[in-house]
Amino acid sequence: MTVQAAATPGAQGCGDCHGAAFAGWRASAHAAAATNPLYRAGFRVEPRRFCVDCHTSAGARAEEGIGCSSCHVDPASAPPTTTAASGHPLALRARADLRDPALCRDCHEFATPAFEGGALRMTDLPMQRTYSEWLAYRDAGGRETCQSCHMPGGDHTMRGARDVELLRGSLAVIASADARGPRLTLASVGVGHAFPSGDLFRHLTVEVRPAGDPQEDAWRVVDRMGRTFETRLDGKTLQAYKVETADTVLVPGTPRVVRLPPIRGELVWRVRYHYGSERDERRGLVPAEALFVTLATGTVGQSRRCEPRPSAGQGASPWAACPAFSRARSRRLRAELSVGSRATAALYSRSASR
């Protein structure tokens, strides 16, 4: 290669020659890793060097977040230089390494730290474990990689939970009723790890209210999918430590049935995705629209997202109006569901220790 060194350091410098990658990256969560409101609020409560080290690229300006060099500079090429003799600005990772999920593991899998008298010690409670969750999905027969799902055609936007359309398409909900009353069946669709994954506070709530009571405070949470933590005090050392007290995330291939209260009359339900914890929502440091989004809603017995319509014509599927349950979609769902829960059971049922 005979290209000249970038005059400007950082992502913009690479972007001068790699416009498409730069444009995608700039719209990505990676570019906003150090500036998004939820991170800033979290960092305000717990301002640790540890956070900065992972939410920004070494050597770049903090506002840049996870820049090009975090993923592209070959860590073996120490020290990284912007004027490599070969002509290209930096010694780059080989393509095969770029496509390996191990690249993503570096930041998307880590333990919960304990800070003892200022010193950082890693506990064995996973703080994020998207990579292990992906390994379980793969071991159960899943064939996609982080890159094949998150970077179709090399797209650096890396859509994830902040993309509401993708998020809504990732959850299938079927409302039904039997002798014991109304119920919802929830399953993740096309997700190669737990749902939710990523940040430890992310969770889903299933909420209901009587159809005749449209007040916002009539909603009741009847189930929660996510991880739950508690801070305890070690009686001997008097150090505070975190334990995981529940883990109810949705696992690929394992639908979850949620029983709804059998009330007289119709029940309205909704499923919400929460980006932060219940505490974040009480604290009010972050605007509501950055904290949760409604993924699906309906009335029991006639879910709005997937209500079958009488067939419009010969051969037309009654599910045609329901994207989540079109024929192709339900075939895909069945394939997903058959990715079995054998290998995943062990991982997800593990009760965390500290």
Could you say which residues in the range 95-114 bind ligand HEC, by CB under 6 A?
A: 95, 98-99, 101, 103-104, 106-108, 110
Q: How far apart are alpha carbons 146 and 71 in whole angstroms?
A: 14
Judged by CB under 6 A, the chain residues 40 through 59 that form the site for ligand HEC are: 42-43, 46, 48, 50-51, 54-55
Q: Which stretch binds ligand HEC (CB under 6 A): 88-96, 207-215, 216-224, 297-305?
A: 88-96
Tell whether residue 90 is a contact of ligand HEC (CB under 6 A): yes
Tell whether residue 63 is a contact of ligand HEC (CB under 6 A): no
Tell whether residue 29 is a contact of ligand HEC (CB under 6 A): yes
Question: Residue 170 or 205: which CB sits closer to ligand HEC?
Answer: 170
Q: Which residues pair with 109 in a beta bridge?
A: 129
Tell whether residue 296 is a contact of ligand HEC (CB under 6 A): no
Chain position whose Cβ is nearest to ligand HEC: 198
In 216-335, the DSSP E strands lie at 220-233, 240-247, 256-259, 267-274, 292-299, 302-303
Minimum CB–partner distance for residue 230 and ligand HEC (Å): 18
Judged by CB under 6 A, the chain residues 148 through 207 that form the site for ligand HEC are: 149-151, 154, 156, 158, 160-162, 166-167, 170, 190-193, 195-199, 202
Question: Residue 141 or 160: which CB sits closer to ligand HEC?
Answer: 160
288 is written with which tokens?
Answer: 């509501």
Q: Which amino acid is at 112?
A: T
Binding test (CB under 6 A) with ligand HEC, winner from 60, 64, 130, 300: 130
Q: Which amino acid is at 336?
A: E
Question: Residue 104 or 333: which CB sits closer to ligand HEC?
Answer: 104
DSSP state of 92: B
87: left (phi over 0), alpha (psi -120 to 50) or beta: left
CA dihedral 162, 163, 164, 170 (to 10 degrees): -100
DSSP state of 93: P
Q: What would you measure as the largest C-alpha separation in the chain, in angstroms?
A: 76
DSSP state of 260: P
Minimum CB–partner distance for residue 217 and ligand HEC (Å): 26
Tell whether residue 344 is a contact of ligand HEC (CB under 6 A): no
Question: Residue 166 or 258: which CB sits closer to ligand HEC?
Answer: 166
Question: Residue 195 or 319: which CB sits closer to ligand HEC?
Answer: 195
- Report residue 176: phi and psi, to 5°: -155, 180
Tell whether residue 33 is a contact of ligand HEC (CB under 6 A): yes
Question: Residue 267 or 286: which CB sits closer to ligand HEC?
Answer: 286
Judged by CB under 6 A, the chain residues 201 through 240 that form the site for ligand HEC are: 202
Question: Residue 33 or 125: which CB sits closer to ligand HEC?
Answer: 33
Cis peptide before 214 (omega within 30 of 0): no
Q: How far apart are alpha carbons 13 and 148 in whole angstroms?
A: 27
Question: Residue 154 or 181: which CB sits closer to ligand HEC?
Answer: 154
Binding test (CB under 6 A) with ligand HEC, winner from 11, 175, 295, 322: 11
Minimum CB–partner distance for residue 101 and ligand HEC (Å): 5
Minimum CB–partner distance for residue 203 and ligand HEC (Å): 9
72 is written with which tokens?
Answer: 């592209």
Judged by CB under 6 A, the chain residues 259 through 278 that form the site for ligand HEC are: 275
Tell whether residue 39 is a contact of ligand HEC (CB under 6 A): yes
Is the CB of residue 53 less than 8 Å from the CB of residue 66? Answer: no
Q: How far apart are alpha carbons 143 and 348 in whole angstroms?
A: 20
307 is written with which tokens?
Answer: 């209500």
156 is written with which tokens?
Answer: 């650096």
Question: Residue 166 or 222: which CB sits closer to ligand HEC?
Answer: 166
Question: Residue 131 or 229: which CB sits closer to ligand HEC?
Answer: 131
| Residue 226, number of CB atoms within 10 A of its CB | 21
DSSP string computed for 99-140: TSTHHHHHHHEEEEEEEETTEEEEEEEEEEEHHHHHHHHHHT
